[in-house]
Amino acid sequence: MSRYSPSVAKLISELGKLPGIGPRSAQRLAFHILSLPQEEVKGLSDALVNARSSTRFCSVCQNFTDQDPCPICSDPRRDHSTICVVENPRDVSTMERMRDYNGLYHVLHGVFSPLNNVGIEEIKIKELIERLQKFPETKEVIIATNHTADGEATAMYLARLIKPAGIKVTRIASGLPMGSNLEFADDVTLSKALEARREF
């Protein structure tokens, strides 16, 4: 016999599917939610549903947005000659937190990873190449994928694709340790890595 009613067991199960949430954390979250007033639970539920239904990909950079193009791509004060390529939307937030970068972004939504059955066609590389053709003002592409084997392979593949077009391709410096993720980097390390980027 289950320790929980079916509805509570289902809530724990769904929460447990979130990244970084194990069975015990899912249980704690579930019981916290159940202890909230009904209106707060409804607010949480509405926020989840509304965020999911109103969020889409920016047609320019592929970042999550609820307006198209997104606020970064449509900001005339940004440097439109530079594009920083990152793995996921969290990395855009990390770079923006630093406040040292004023260019645009392109979000790949993953990296080339044969061992995980992620092919080149499954990430937003085709959209990047089409963007570079559509916006010839791009002078530099900064590749800021994580310093993992898959991130490095993706960076090298992108460099080989982009350099023949005469666009400068740089790689964010390895002030970030190998195997680390961009979102966990502190601001100083990230700033130094950006300053010390190198050309492929």
Domains with residue ranges and CATH for the chain: 6-54 (1.10.8.420), 64-199 (3.40.1360.10)
DSSP the chain: --SS-HHHHHHHHHHTTSTT--HHHHHHHHHHHHHS-HHHHHHHHHHHHHHHHH-EE-TTT--EESSSS-TTTT-TTSEEEEEEEESSHHHHHHHHHH----EEEEE-SS--BGGGTB-GGGTTHHHHHHHHHH-TT--EEEE---SSHHHHHHHHHHHHHHGGGT-EEEE--TTSPTT--GGG--HHHHHHHHHT-EE-
Each residue's pLDDT tens digit in the chain (200 positions)?
A: 368 899 999 999 999 999 999 999 999 999 999 999 999 999 999 999 999 999 999 999 999 999 999 999 999 999 999 999 999 999 999 999 988 899 999 999 999 887 777 778 889 999 999 999 999 999 999 999 998 889 989 999 999 999 999 999 999 876 667 677 777 777 867 877 787 777 77
